[in-house]
Amino acid sequence: MNQPIPFADTNFKLAVVQELMYNQELLPKFDLREYAAEQGFTYDDWSFEAVPEALAYFEALEIPFELAEKITEIVMDGGNEIYREIAPRWDGEDALFDVDEFADLQHFPNLKSMTLFYTGDEGALEAVRARGIEADWA
């Protein structure tokens, strides 16, 4: 039985899911409209905030360890599909999806480059670069 990756930082997990679900299409795509219809909830399509049910879906989503090796690059960008599916009108102007903890890097041995949302925290870049990963701000 394959164990799921134990993520320490939800926003790091979201960046990984973007790559696996929307870029590489290795996971079934999440569609907020379909999910809301299936689950029977409504949300504000103009919200800059995270839709709680969508965020809960991704928090509960298990990523098999076998997919970790498929991650070679992570690009955090305000236009990524995952962020629009969680917060439909999020504009990237706040820290909603910033990564605060980089312990999850240990699960991705093939990760070679990472583009992070700008936080002004040079320690974040250094934490990534210390693992031999090219890192820069988005």
User: What is the pLDDT averaged over residues 28-45?
Assistant: 97
In the predicted model, what is the mean pLDDT of the chain?
95
List the 73-75 sheet strands across, edge first: 73-75, 113-116, 134-137
DSSP assignment letter at 59: H
Q: Report the pLDDT value the prediction gives residue 137, as an integer from 0 to 100.
A: 95
**Model confidence at 1: pLDDT above 70:** no
**Strands (DSSP E) along 1-138, which ranges?**
73-75, 113-116, 134-137
Q: Report the pLDDT value the prediction gives residue 135, as an integer from 0 to 100.
A: 96
Question: pLDDT tens digits, residue range 60-95?
Answer: 999 999 999 999 999 999 999 999 999 999 988 899
User: Global pTM?
Assistant: 0.96
What's the rounded Cα separation, in Å, for the pair 42 and 4? 30
Going by C-alpha positions, the residue among 71, 65, 49, 75 that lies closest to residue 136 is 75
Going by C-alpha positions, the residue among 82, 99, 77 that lies closest to residue 20 is 82
User: What is the pLDDT averaged over residues 101-118?
Assistant: 96
**Model confidence at 111: pLDDT above 60:** yes
